[in-house]
A and B are shown apart, each in its own frame.
Chain A
Amino acid sequence: MSKVLMGRMLAVMALVPTVAGAARLNLACGSVGQEQELCRQGAEAWARQTGNEVSLVSVPTDAGQQLTMFQQLLAAGGRDIDVFRIDVVWPGIVGPFFIDLRPYFPESDRAAFFPALMRNNTVDGRLVAIPWFMDAGLLYYRKDLLEKYHQRPPETWQALAGTAKVVLEGERRAGQARLTGFVFQGKAYEGLTCNALEWVDSFGGGTFVDAQGQVTLDNPRAVEAVSFIASLMGNVVPRGVLSYEEEGARGVFQSGNAVFMRNWPYAWALANSAESPVRGKVGVMALPRGGPDGRSVGTLGGWQLGVSRFSAQPELAVQLVKYLTSAEEQKRRALVASFNPTRVALYRDPDILRANPFMGSLEETFASAVARPTVTGAKYNQVSADIRNAVHATLSGRGAAQESLQKAHQKLVRLSRGGRW
């Protein structure tokens, strides 16, 4: 696709009040939930302060589609976007197109962020992006329904299934035909890989590829984990999850049609917003363990801001990144929309903890969130695609977990070139 055409396509832009003669930056931030609005407010504030102009670029909600769009633009040397919001698994993929931010962020600034995130964003010694907000998979549940049926929030996946069945049985008898037990992100896209990682690792089945680059996907614990979730399809889990992204799952949960939901922290503020039918009825906790000897695992997610190598005003773009990742702006985002800060100190901020109690009580979940296997470098997307396709096939009833995972395992081994990737 040509640069010009791409630029036209990206031109679905929202102009921020302008100052004549001021420089103009293009910023691509997310569009899931209230992110677009939140991002606009932040960018507008910076624009007013500095007398510049920022345009927001609309991006697809599906992370994989965003990456595709960014790559086409960057591979063509496009100048249409100055500041990119990138996923935690992308630094190895788009890093070469971004400038090194170390000169702009002295050691003292860098130390304020979670070290694991800063390490993740450092590619070949270059700091390609600054952590903006972090994510970990969380379990949302309907406090009111669990209390009604005298159920405790589930500690294990097995308990979740049991509880969901009890509630469903009772509610369906009461005429709630639409209610479902558990919704998550089951469409064959990046979100499913995140969900699958949580199931498999919580059963003790590892992280698909270990830190040394060896493929570990096919093992009895992993098979057990995927088989267990597959056994819930059609009874506890509606078959529609096979087409849900984050917002699809949230739509069902927030309209009161699900007992449990796996989602990222952003769903907290929305589920408790003024127009939410489940406002005040929602609890949030760490994801269940895979049986009594399993552990609770949330996949590490999160988004970073990087500056394009092709930007016409890199210095100015860095100023925007500094503003958006500042403590004040991150605090505002946490208060308004429950976006988890990437600065360690903010987790002790009383205002933030009051608005988002889970950020304090689930600090452990965030601190120990499990990263996706980025040891696979630029091949990560292929790895993710093979895993999610295998899991999707099993969940949709096309092949047992054993054979799906085995097939994907063999593909990954071939792809890994003996762990060298």
Chain B
Amino acid sequence: MARPRETSLLARQRARAAWVFMLPTLVGMALVAGWPLARTVGFAFTDARLTDLSAARFVGLGSFVSVLEDPDWWTAVGTTVRFAFVSVLLESVLGMGIALVLHRRFAGRGLVRAAVLVPWAVPTVVSAKMWAWMFHDVYGVINAVLMWLGLLAEPLAWTAEPSLAFWAVVMVDVWKATPFMALLLLAALQLLPEDVYEAARLDGAGPVRSFFRITLPLVKGPLMVAALFRLLDALRVFDVFYVLTGGGSETQPMAGYARQWMFEFQELGVGSAAATLLVLLIALLTAVYLVLGRVRLDVGES
């Protein structure tokens, strides 16, 4: 961010006014986000148990060590990272496709645009429960359709077997979050200048070529930001897994692991350490993403 070296009186006054206006928000943030986060990090260095918080003793890095030594934690890390990567990738590709379609003028476009948002509007717990029934091995519509089509010889237990359950969860998340991606990308598409495409057409570029040479580079910025939002969301995923698979250690995200230790096992200290590690890991992955993203962005612009 470039800032003029000499700040005038007016600019200083404005800056002060800005701080005054920001103050309520900052206080609010500190109360609802900062304080709980600080408490969690604080608990992570103790052996606090949920039954009696006052008996908590400082144990240094003990809780962190026990999380890092637990193979279940690493299974959870693997599951979460794989989930985030796969689902965000699929959502980006599908979201782009949908955005391109919605960008065209056709009758009833407004209606379709609104309809596309429905999955995003349904609360995750509700949609996950709905999908859980569709995935049911005996009554589920998915098995019924696949068997009717002759694609399956016998019903699959979609949410029961860990290997299948992972993909079932990815599917539900993609179903839910793709509209979000599509909407953000559509907004970006609508800002693109028409004349560039006109020039490309005159130069004889086909639709595929103009997509990769013009559209993609131009919406790369918004795409990266939208994907970042989704990535943050996906890394702290909890509800889809919880409703669909119910928390066996083989299909448990990091947030599920933290919840299990905090509440099911009452080990608030260990659970808080896991939650803290989750925040650190998200921060780290976001930093990596931003660095890599900026590098590619520069290439795109040059």
Contacts and interface: CB of A to CB of B under 8 A. Distances in A.
Contacts of A64: 264
Contact of B138 (A187, A252, A392): A252
Contacts of A260: none
Nearest to B161: A396
A75 B50 contact: yes
A96 B51 contact: yes
Given A240-B137, A257-B138, A378-B51, A188 B247 contact: yes
B138 A243 contact: no
B243 to A, nearest CB: 11
B138 A381 contact: no
Interface string B256-272: 00011001111100000
Interface stretch (A14-22, A65-73, A326-334): A65-73
Contacts of B49: 378
B293 interface: no
Contact of B250 (A187, A251, A389): A389
Contacts of A238: 137-138, 155, 157
Interface residues of A, number: 39
Contacts of B260: 385
Determine the main DSSP class of B at the interface with A: loop
Interface string B47-64: 001111100000000000
Given A187-B248, A242-B161, A178 B266 contact: no
Given A75-B53, A93-B51, A378-B49, A240 B157 contact: yes
A393 B249 CA distance: 9
Interface string B130-141: 000000111100
Given A238-B138, A257-B138, A243 B51 contact: no
B87 interface: no
Determine the main DSSP class of A at the interface with B: helix
B244 to A, nearest CB: 9
Contacts of B46: none
A255 B139 CA distance: 10
A354 interface: no
Contacts of A270: none
Nearest to B136: A240
Nearest to A177: B154
Contacts of B156: 239
Contact of B249 (A187, A241, A381, A389): A389
Contact of A243 (B157, B249, B259): B157
Nearest to A62: B246
B159 interface: yes
Interface string A266-280: 000000000000000
B162 interface: yes
Contacts of A242: 157, 160-161
A189 interface: yes
A393 B250 CA distance: 8
Given A71-B266, A178-B138, A243-B159, 4 more contacts: A71-B50, A188-B249, A379-B265, A385-B249
